[in-house]
A = this chain, B = another copy of it.
Amino acid sequence: MKEFWSQRIRDMVPYTPGEQPKGRTFIKLNTNENPYPPAPGVTAAIQAAAGEGLRLYPDPECTQLRAALAAYHGVTPEQVFVGNGSDEVLALCFQAFFCGGKPVVFPDITYSFYPVYAALYGVDYRLIPLNEDFTVPVEAFLGENGGVLLPNPNAPTGRALCLDQIERLAAGNPEAAVVIDEAYVDFGAESALALLDRYPNLLVVRTMSKSRALAGLRVGYAIGSANLIAGLNCVKNSFNSYTVDRLAQAGALASVEDEAYFQENRRKVMHTRTRVAAELEALGFTVCPSQANFLFASHPAHGGKELLDGLRSKGVLVRWWDQPRISRYLRISVGTDGEMDALLSALKELL
């Protein structure tokens, strides 16, 4: 039944995203979406862009949005690349930087899309085991690597590296691209942006899906040296000239322009995270210290799958992986306070 398929994809196991339920209404704590709406100006900007102009192609270079992001982050527009979600940006990174002879390295416990990209693009990789407490053994990432890829904070653990550790990664891999996936950085970790001046091999990847509550719009970006950004553009322009549509460009721009809303949004999520982590611990859970908009937690008396299924039966979706070392853990997105109270009530009934 795979007639006509290219050989490489016949054995591919694609990435499985968290369930997007249809029909029944769940409390959705399974895909790290933001529980609050995007900045109010986003809707107005999109509505204004939704007219006759749609007949024209979008700006393939996202000039206005890149200028706004450059100003926001204190870099030049030539240091900014925008893509159709950070997943696309990461896929382009594999092609732009990791298709050499040497393996790219990433942790054994991390965003499970990474090995899928590697398989799709024929990139060798080497998994580096996290320490027992899920901290990153930085020394093991230094050396003759074909590239380094690391989320900070890491997913699904939520644990963050400090800036010194990121700097050791960049300095210790001077001939390889070091890609820091900062999808969750706005919820409390230190950004590697501060290191860009000194490390031309360092690339920071961001998404607007989480802290800017724009998962439905598909906008991600990368910031790094003009040389690395040119590499991403080379791949992008060999694949799809216009990856970011007019509405996404307009909406993302409006989000960047509302700093007060952004700060208030992330503050609320972090506040709820702190409270819920303490309440989970009071219920007997072990909770990883999280700098992200999710909590990674296990219970000594109840398996991960058991709790996943129990919560689902009570109308609460969380995420679980059938994978060594973490099969007792749940990843729980931080929702509104009301949603988290419902989660905690459901857990109390299950335990």
Q: Is the CB of A227 within 8 A of B176?
A: no
Give min CB distance, A83 to chain B, whole Å.
9
Is A177 engaged at the interface, CB distance under 8 Å to the other chain? yes
Q: How many residues in A have their beta carbons less than 8 Å from beta carbons of B?
A: 88
Residue from B22, B99, B231, B245 within 8 A of A216 (CB atoms): B245
Complex A-B: 26 CB contacts under 8 Å = A1-B230, A3-B201, A4-B228, A5-B96, A9-B234, A9-B235, A9-B238, A20-B59, A31-B57, A37-B52, A37-B54, A43-B51, A46-B50, A50-B247, A54-B214, A54-B217, A55-B213, A55-B214, A56-B215, A58-B218, A87-B241, A91-B240, A116-B238, A216-B246, A217-B246, A245-B247
Write out the residue numbers on chain B whose beta carbons fall within 8 Å of the beta carbon of A96.
5-6, 9
Write out the residue numbers on chain B whose beta carbons fall within 8 Å of the beta carbon of A34.
55
Smallest CB-CB separation from A241: which chain B residue?
Answer: B17
**A residues engaging B (CB < 8 A)?**
1-9, 12, 14-17, 20, 22, 28, 31, 33-38, 42-43, 46-47, 50-60, 63, 84-85, 87-88, 91, 95-100, 116-117, 119-120, 175-177, 200-201, 209, 213-218, 227-228, 230-231, 233-248, 251
**In the docked arrangement, what's the CA distance between A247 and B14, Å?**
25
Q: Is the CB of A5 within 8 A of B97?
A: yes
Give min CB distance, A220 to chain B, whole Å.
10
Write out the residue numbers on chain B whose beta carbons fall within 8 Å of the beta carbon of A20.
56-57, 59-60
Knowing A46-B247, A240-B88, A241-B87 are in contact, say whether A7-B57 is a contact too (CB < 8 A).
no
Residue from B17, B43, B87, B247 within 8 A of A217 (CB atoms): B247
Residue from B12, B57, B63 within 8 A of A215 (CB atoms): B57
Give min CB distance, A136 to chain B, whole Å.
22
